[in-house]
Amino acid sequence: MRLNIVCIPGDGIGPEIVTEAKKVLNKVAEKYGHEMVFTDILMGGASIDVHGVPLTDEAIAAAKAADAVLMGSIGGDTNTSPWYQLPPEKRPEAGLLKIRKALNLFANLRPAVLYEELAAACPLKEEISAAGFDILIMRELTGGLYFGERKTVEENGVRKAIDTLTYDENEIRRIAIKGFDIARKRKKKLTSVDKANVLDSSRLWRAVVNEVAKEYPDVKVEHMLVDNCAMQLVKDPAQFDVVLTENMFGDILSDEASMVTGSIGMLASASLNDTKFGLYEPSHGSAPDIAGKDLANPIATILSASMMLRYSFDLDREADAIDAAVKKVLQDGYRTGDIMSEGCKKVGCKEMGSLITERI
């Protein structure tokens, strides 16, 4: 298969971690008989430095012409970088918002995986962390409270802020279909999270999810209120597989889930549209303080590349090979500085990428 991939190295440690992900993908292509075609584009501060804007129309066109996009990181030090003296619409992160909108990326996937080898980093009690967990939170990304009408007014001398939470059934249905499709690739269990005891939008959410569920009789479905879900994530995270929820709930729950893994340097993510197309990126930031020092952890980006093979190309075997290689490197005791523990061997970004590549 020919895989046409646009890469956005971005800022900070982005170029380093994307380089290592490409190394792994090239090894996968060599072993399994694929052709990787990489095209780099500029976004964020790197684009500002060259073009004066965080994302050009030409870069968007290149992304649209690709099969998938693999991204490193965007942004710099908000206190010292000249990028943050610019108006908000000209700052690095504006490029990310622009490309999400241009590519219609409405489904955000954030895995939270506790590797047995990194269990000591988990902040939960040992009797909880010992069970391990592998959760995929699927968040609706372009609707709900964050995109509804908002205003601040003054009534009778009192300031009043209004934010509107709106979902229509089509917005809910398309993210639900994505959720069920991915649940089929995993353990065939989906937990839909809402606030249906209070919100009309959540009652519609629950109704549409139940309608979609009829088309997936092989997937077990449960509904959970968001406050209970927040508690269950720290009480018994192993009970979850795919967690499907709306924009604001997903924003909060995915951050909570990422913290119980103990290391954000291990967390991949994906944003998908209504085709197989997706943008894949690590959940961590650009870490400008360690950029260019060979200290970054490339694993989250490498795991993002694995997600890309699985969800945009349906190459589950190849994705499994990457996941297994990452696990083997951890079992063999290799660690970057952010996940280092006693008795392990500390390696840099380049060596970690090479070690994973060797185990494909």
Q: Which two three-digit tokens encode residue 159?
A: 């300031």
Judge contact between 72 and 17, C-beta under 8 A.
yes
Continuous H helices in 279-348? 299-311, 316-331
Q: Is the CB of residue 73 less than 8 Å from the CB of residue 96?
A: no
Query: CB neighbours (10 Å) of residue 118?
Result: 18
Instruction: For tokens 């006693």, name the residue.
Output: 342
Largest CA distance in the chain: 71
239: exposed, middle or buried (Cβ count in 10 Å: 0-12, 13-18, 19+): middle
Let me know: does 209 contact 176? Beta carbons within 8 Å: yes
DSSP run (H or E) holding 101: helix 92-102
Q: What residues are labeled active site? A: 146, 195, 227, 251, 255
3-state secondary structure of 144: helix
Strand 133-140 to 107-114 pairing: antiparallel
Distance between CA atoms of residues 149 and 45, nearest Å: 30
